Structure 1
């Protein structure tokens, strides 16, 4: 499978425009969720944020504490150039080495990009980064893929993974997905 946390792998994907996961705008289920948030001072983290349309949308809506962590120097430089003056905090690093405390962590195509062997480490790291009342929310694929990334999975697997880490998690099996992903992704909210 290879180590998909390797920065050179992701730099090359961005340089070669091999970014099939990138829909070019904020994901509709995430936009709907963001529109329900009223506290504009939430400490928000988007791991593996890529081109970060979600971060851009949050900034446009007046959120003032948004951080993106990505391992790709190529994408981090783009984010710095495009959004740092608008208040986006950009951290170019391995997510698993990141530290901080966040009220909301947004999952958007990061979980499916890491090796399934890292999923337990992922949920443990989320628990570590979230504030006492913090939420982890976003989208997960509810289907299998050949090879990867992306790496798929299903709700039963995710439920067991989050339960084991001490999260209470709810799943929406019918989010307002883009047509190509309709029926193949779930929106989830996990609470400590």
Structure 2
């Protein structure tokens, strides 16, 4: 795990060791459930989950037959994912380290963004957008859950739609025409996450 404070505002490994992880939801994220039920993941052959933590979505993607990559700074989180996959007789590629410095061998079909963007310092957001763009093939999809938060500071850092439209500009990403669904977070005072699927141009 890196301790470079310019890359991470928190000691994520320590948080997982202490089980101090209020951003984790019990079970699959309801947006994941809705996306899967609607067929949004149909046709995905590969997906990455950056900042995967102990998200059950990693095993769920693998169980759906999608080549899954899970990345996190925390050794404890990665070991949890490894054990979970073994228990379910599933396989995925696990990456421990700075995922912004990682590149796939071939472009990916999808990125599942649940808790990574709101966790990194805002100064890294431009790098994150460029990294996700580089990961995806043209037509690849970013399944994003943008944390809505009025208070300053973080993590989590607020990801207002205006800021996200500026970060993921229309000349590089196709935005949906419909309004995003909102999913209040049960452990973060009901702060909503907005579900948006962006397509890489």
TM-score w.r.t. the length of structure 1 is: 0.87
The structure that is helix-richer by fraction is 1
Structure 1 residues 155-177: Cα deviation after superposition (integer angstroms, max 9, x where no partner): 11111110177212236433354
Q: Separation in 2 of the partners of 1:153 and 1:108?
A: 12
- Equivalent residue number for residue 45 of structure 2: 42
Q: Separation in 2 of the partners of 1:45 and 1:87?
A: 13
Q: Separation in 2 of the partners of 1:93 and 1:183?
A: 28
Q: Separation in 1 of the partners of 2:150 and 2:62?
A: 33
Q: Does 1:56 align with 2:63?
A: no
| Aligned-partner SS, 1:91 | strand
Q: Separation in 2 of the partners of 1:16 and 1:127?
A: 34
Alpha carbons of 1:42 and 1:175: their partners in 2 closer, same or farther (altered >3 Å)? farther
| Aligned-partner SS, 2:54 | coil
Residue from 103, 124, 127 that aligns with 1:121: 127
Q: Separation in 2 of the partners of 1:34 and 1:53?
A: 14
Alpha carbons of 1:87 and 1:181: their partners in 2 closer, same or farther (altered >3 Å)? farther
State the shift of 1:181 in Å: 6.8
Kindly report which structure 2 residues correspond to 1:28-39, keeping only aligned pairs within 5 A, or say none: 28-35=30-37, 36=39, 37-39=41-43
Runs of at least 5 residues in structure 2 that lack an aligned partner in the other structure:
none
Moved more, 145-154 or 131-140: 145-154
Q: Separation in 2 of the partners of 1:95 and 1:110?
A: 10
- Equivalent residue number for residue 95 of structure 2: 91
Q: Report the number of matched residues.
A: 188
Q: RMSD over aligned Cα, in angstroms?
A: 2.3
Q: Does 1:174 align with 2:178?
A: no
Residue from 67, 76, 80 that aligns with 1:65: 67
Alpha carbons of 1:65 and 1:38: their partners in 2 closer, same or farther (altered >3 Å)? same
Alpha carbons of 1:97 and 1:16: their partners in 2 closer, same or farther (altered >3 Å)? same
Moved more, 117-126 or 26-35: 26-35
Residue from 184, 188, 191 that aligns with 2:192: 184
- Equivalent residue number for residue 161 of structure 2: 155
- Equivalent residue number for residue 17 of structure 1: 19
Q: Separation in 2 of the partners of 1:188 and 1:131?
A: 18
Contact 1:174 1:183 in 2 (8 A): no
Contact 2:146 2:193 in 1 (8 A): yes
Q: Separation in 2 of the partners of 1:74 and 1:97?
A: 20
